[in-house]
Amino acid sequence: MYSKEESQRIKREFWVAFAEKYPRKWVLYDTKIKDFSFKFYVDNKKAQVLIDIEHRSDEKRIAYFEKLEALKNILEEEFIKDLVFEKNHTLESGKTISRIWVEKLGVGFSNKNTWDTIFDFFNENMHALEMFYLEYDEFIKDIDSL
């Protein structure tokens, strides 16, 4: 087990190495939709690429989630397989969000032997989600038509 400082240092090294291998600007929080973001996540058991919908209004949060759910077949056939759709995901803080993700198990930031696998997983899956989003963002943003 690492100390908190050592763990933070390794995480910094991990993200710097990822940025060096895939030096590009990701969409992440720049979706033009409030509280709708793309995220990378890694711990010592798994890596995930996520879409988090954290809108304060449950009605709007669910509306955005249902827009994505309506595109699920296209998303999985043309962009990315094995996505998990969770309308009501509870964070450790107790906050309920909607989350869509794909994960790779058996990898972790503290095992440098898995870094390239994680980096490739992140790049491939985030790129696919971004391409999907850029193609369907107008449809997704238009929740007033529901």
Contact yes or no for 66/85 (Cβ under 8 A): no
Averaged confidence pLDDT in the chain? 93
What average pLDDT does this structure show over 55-61?
92
Residue 7 pLDDT level (bands cut at 50, 70, 90):
confident
Q: pLDDT for 29-51, tens place per residue?
A: 888 888 999 999 999 999 999 99
Please write the tens of the pLDDT for every residue from 103-133.
999 999 999 999 999 999 999 999 999 999 9
CA-nearest of 50, 12, 15 to 29 is: 50
At 143 the pLDDT is 82
Q: What is the 3-state secondary structure (H, E, C) of the chain?
A: CCCHHHHHHHHHHHHHHHHHHCCCCCCCCCCCCCCEEEEEEECCCEEEEEEEECCCCHHHHHHHHHHHHHCHHHHHHHHCCCCEEEEEEECCCCCEEEEEEEEEECCCCCCHHHHHHHHHHHHHHHHHHHHHHHHHHHHHHCHHHC
pLDDT cut 90: percent of the chain above it: 84
Is residue 4 very low, low, confident or very high in pLDDT (cuts 50, 70, 90)?
confident
Does the pLDDT value for residue 136 go beyond 80? yes
